[in-house]
Structure formats: structure tokens, C-alpha cells
Structure 1
């Protein structure tokens, strides 16, 4: 994955120096690869043991083959993962990580190590803990068992208990530079058109996971549709009605999210291409788009309404629309 360099360096330096903090808070936007990093770090620790053994070159060093085989099979006794579980017999996940899950984890921490020198707990995401679960975790972080490491994935660290944050070493996963993202996407998907890669990188906002999801979402096609509305003004509403149909209903939620991802970059490009005195209307429509997105997220708008309203915002920016407004 991309964007783990500084986190990996910090983790390896702590391990090599024998200064491994007992809890690491991996903070940043969803899709940055925080969970991937957590599993890489956990695998490294339970397959390498105490600091400095072997001087491994990276977190992907295989380490002890027997321990690595157990990790790959999901059977390593010293690797514990907490995440939301499926509800009943459905595929839908529970809203939270429950207090019962936390209690089961704590009971395992009281057992002696049966294999290797470290026990690792991954909580993905710690934001999902019930209130009671968060309080129970806090007590454990205040008096952590020896040779136990906590890797806490957080998409919204500001919402966590301040006392949990204060007991963690915080590693922030920052959005990836656009040029770096473009080069990475070229390497990952060399068959993609250059313009499509650039459109994906712009819509992803520096988040690698989002970029990978967008690859299969016809980003370039959708961007052309939105651009056509902004350039023509869509006088007969035909393009806006087609957009509304395309993003309507729960089955098309991903396409609505794609539109929401693309529009900010499109508005920024329009603003860059205009004289300074003509940027004001673009900023007005930016605010209008943001309000529409908030209403859609809160459930006030269905997909069709949100799609049509976003189309209205873009249509207002057409040259003919601006002239008419004057």
C-alpha cells in the first residue's frame, strides 16, 4: 500500500530501540490503509519477538515461518482482533463493537503467552466501541499487561475519549500527494487512460482506498456527464433528469457517492479556469453543493433529489446561465 512510510519508520524505530509504546492510535481518513498497516505491524511483532532480533528490513519481513503460517491462517493465539460483527444471521454489521467483545478480549489478556514474546490487539475501528466498551478499554490501557500491544484504528480520533487518546502514541495517516497518487495508480493499473487516472486521483482526495474503489466506478464517464451540465447549462433538463435516475435509490448509492466525490474537483477546476472576478458564482455553488450533500447524508434528500440538485448547481455555472443572471 501507499502512504505507510512514516508510520512504518516510527514503528520499526520503536521496536529496534526497545521503546515500544503499549498503545498506538492509527488516525486518519477512512481508506488510508490504517487497518492494513495494523495487520502488517501485528504480523511483524508476533513473528519477530523481542527488539532487534534479526534486524528486519521492513514490516513485510517474514520472520518465524511457523508463526507466520499461523497468522496467515488466522489462528495465531497471540493475535486478537475486534471489529463489528454480523447481526443475527444477516450480512449487516452491528452498529458497535460490544462490551461483551471487549470483556472477552480482556479475559484473554490475563492468560500467559503461549507462543512468542508479544500479544497484539487490533481494534478496527476503536470509534465503533460502545460507551461501556470504551471505558473498559481505558482501564486496560491505564494498566496494560506486559508484552501486550494495542493497535487502535480511528477514522475520527476527535470523537474518542480524551483519556484514551492521551494513553496512546498517535500516528497520523495524511492524504497522499496527488502526483504520488497518479504515479501509484499508473503502476497499479497500467491499462487505464492517463486522463482517467488523473480524474480518479483528483476525486480520491489523497485517499488510496477511495482511489481503488473509484477505479471500478467509471469515474471518467461520470465526470464527462457532470462537465456537460456545467458547460451547456442543460436547458431542457435532460442531462439532470438522467443524472437523477442514475443515482436514485439505495442500489445506486455508490454512484451518488461517486458524484459527491467528483464535484469538488470539478468546481475547483472551473474556478481555476475563470478570471478572478468570475470566481464568486463558483463559490456560491460550492456552498450549495455542500448543503445538498449534508442533506443527502442526513436522509433529508433521496438520491434522485440530491443528484438533480447537484446538477442544478452545475447548470448555474454554464456561460449562458451566468450571462442570463447578469
Structure 2
């Protein structure tokens, strides 16, 4: 994990003072490492006592409990997540009410090892309505020595009554300098142009950055910038973009373009006089509408790509645009 020292410090401060709130909402964009943080907290609690002087969640603690936690077999760590459907690879749409009921039954049992039981729900956004209501009742009357860690990518969509019973830890996007240094250390062979492109496209989300490492982001960014610079007379670049990201097999390339465009437009806006920023913002609004409408409809990648190209072409200097 990178860039989340504040969240770790806040938790350890509460633990050291023996004032742990019974429920913590880990809120932030998907890919920030919230699930990994929850697992580190769970491992820490089941390998330590009620309070102490540890200064990091990676403090080893009790070795026997640590081995069980690392193997995923510790009896006091309960992990709820979406399960595979019909023994296949595809995951169920929700965390079911039956999973929540099973968790509640385990909460009535006495602790069999250590001083803490930890429940991780990743993500709490995935709970069925009945499951969310059942969880709420448990949060209202929590068992002793039980800690709930609720991972949420969209906390605004949760029941307000669930949010109100949690202490919130917000996981903020990581700064550009920290992300750049981290990626350089992680993949020293990446050239700096590629690192900068990944950092921009990831929006400060480490998980997204990892997914982009082998995607040749810099080359795709260069193609998009060429459309915005030349106006693409004859539509050659736009046609090529539509072919590259069209079709169901190219969905990841389409999503990559959607990730790249905001940073690219911000870069163009920074390089232009203040009086010329409004057209950039207008094209960004147009791109957002295009993507939103496509998601609601058939999600035609070729159409989305060509229309994004049209928006970028509108930003080319007037002398580079074809006469109308």
C-alpha cells in the first residue's frame, strides 16, 4: 500500500488508546487498497492484545495466530464477499442475506482464539437490501470485542443509518510525485513518458495504475494528442481509433481511452491561455455525455471512440482544422 499512512495512523492511535470504534467504513475509489488495508487490520488485531505500543500494522504479533491469518484459516476473521455462481468463475451480483445470517450466527459463538473477532465486508455496497438491514441491526447492538471493517467504493449509496454507526476512514487518491516514485521503483524499465502517462490515466488510484502498466498508455495518449493537435483532416486517425477500441474484444482499450482523456484535456487546458479554456471544458462535457449515453445504450465502442476523436479534433488550432 502507498499513500495511506494517515489511515493506518488513525487506526493505530485508537487501538493504542483502547478506544476502537466497533465499525469502520473504509471509503474511497475502487483500487485504492481498502480491501488490503482491511486484511492488514484484521491480521493485526487477531495477533495482538487489546492495546499496546506497536507502531505499524505489519508488527508480527503472536506467531501462531499470524500463521493462521496468513493462511486464511484464522477462526476469528470472517470475510464476506461476492461468491462464484454455480461453481463457475463469474461472481454473484450481490453478497446475499444468507451470507449475512451465517456471519451473525458466528458472532454468537465465544471467541476461540485471541481477544478480537473481525468481520470484513468487501464491499458493503454489494449487500442485498435484506442483508444491509440485517447488518444494520447488528451494528446497532454489536457483540463485544468484535470489529467491523466495511469496504465501500460508493459510500453515498449506503443506508445513512449504516454510515452513521461507523467511523469513516477516507482513502484519497495518491499524489503524482508519490505515484511516480512508486511506479519507477516497481518497474524500473518503464521510461518516464510511460510512467507519467500511467500516473495521469490512473487518477492517483494504485490499483488502476497496476492494471495499466502493460497497456502502452503513452502510445495511446500520443495518438489522442495527435487528433487534438492536427484536427485529423480526412478522419484517418479517428477511423483507426474506432477500429482499435471497437467490438467486445477491445472493451479494455475503450476503457483505457476513457481513463486517458480527462488527464489529456487537463494538460491541453494548462497549455492554453485562460480565454481558450472554455472550449476544452465544453468538449469534456460532450465526451462525458457520449460515454454516459453509450453505457445506457448498446455501448458501441467504435462509435464512442470516433465521437471522442471528434471532440478532440475540435480542439485543434483553427489553422489545422479543415475548412467547412
Residue 86 in 1 paired to residue 84 in 2? yes
Distance 2:210 2:199 in 1: 10
The answer as to whether partners of 2:287 and 2:311 remain within 8 angstroms in 1 is yes
The answer as to whether partners of 1:118 and 1:148 remain within 8 angstroms in 2 is yes
The answer as to whether partners of 1:27 and 1:172 remain within 8 angstroms in 2 is yes
Distance 1:172 1:36 in 2: 14
- Give the equivalent residue in structure 2 for 1:274: 272
- Give the equivalent residue in structure 2 for 1:236: 234
Note the C-alpha offset of 1:131. Answer: 0.3
The answer as to whether partners of 1:229 and 1:240 remain within 8 angstroms in 2 is yes
- Give the equivalent residue in structure 2 for 1:102: 100
SS of 2:73 mapped into structure 1: coil
The answer as to whether partners of 2:47 and 2:66 remain within 8 angstroms in 1 is yes
- Structure 1: state its 5+ residue gaps: none
Distance 2:241 2:321 in 1: 25
CA deviations on 1:186-244 (whole Å, 9 max, x unpaired) are 12221111121111111111111111111121111110111111112111222111111
Residue 20 in 1 paired to residue 32 in 2? no
Note the C-alpha offset of 1:283. Answer: 1.7
CA deviations on 1:143-196 (whole Å, 9 max, x unpaired) are 111100000000111110111011100111111111221122112221111121
- Give the equivalent residue in structure 1 for 2:215: 217
- Structure 2: state its 5+ residue gaps: none
Note the C-alpha offset of 1:277. Answer: 2.4
SS of 2:86 mapped into structure 1: coil
SS of 1:127 mapped into structure 2: helix
CA deviations on 1:231-288 (whole Å, 9 max, x unpaired) are 1211122211111111122221111111011111111111111222222221221111
The answer as to whether partners of 2:230 and 2:321 remain within 8 angstroms in 1 is no
TM-score by length of 1: 0.96
Note the C-alpha offset of 1:324. Answer: 5.7
- Give the equivalent residue in structure 1 for 2:175: 177
SS of 1:63 mapped into structure 2: coil
- Give the equivalent residue in structure 2 for 1:141: 139
- Give the equivalent residue in structure 1 for 2:33: 33
Q: Relative to structure 1, is the Cα distance of residues 277 and 4 closer, same or farther in structure 2, using a 3 angstrom cutoff?
A: closer
Distance 1:269 1:317 in 2: 12
Count of residue pairs brought into register by the alignment: 324
Distance 1:321 1:151 in 2: 57
CA deviations on 1:287-320 (whole Å, 9 max, x unpaired) are 1111112123323431111111111111111224
- Give the equivalent residue in structure 2 for 1:65: 63
Distance 2:233 2:210 in 1: 35
SS of 1:282 mapped into structure 2: helix
- Give the equivalent residue in structure 1 for 2:258: 260
**Aligned with 2:299 (options 292, 295, 301):** 301
Distance 1:221 1:323 in 2: 23
Q: Aligned-pair RMSD on alpha carbons?
A: 1.5
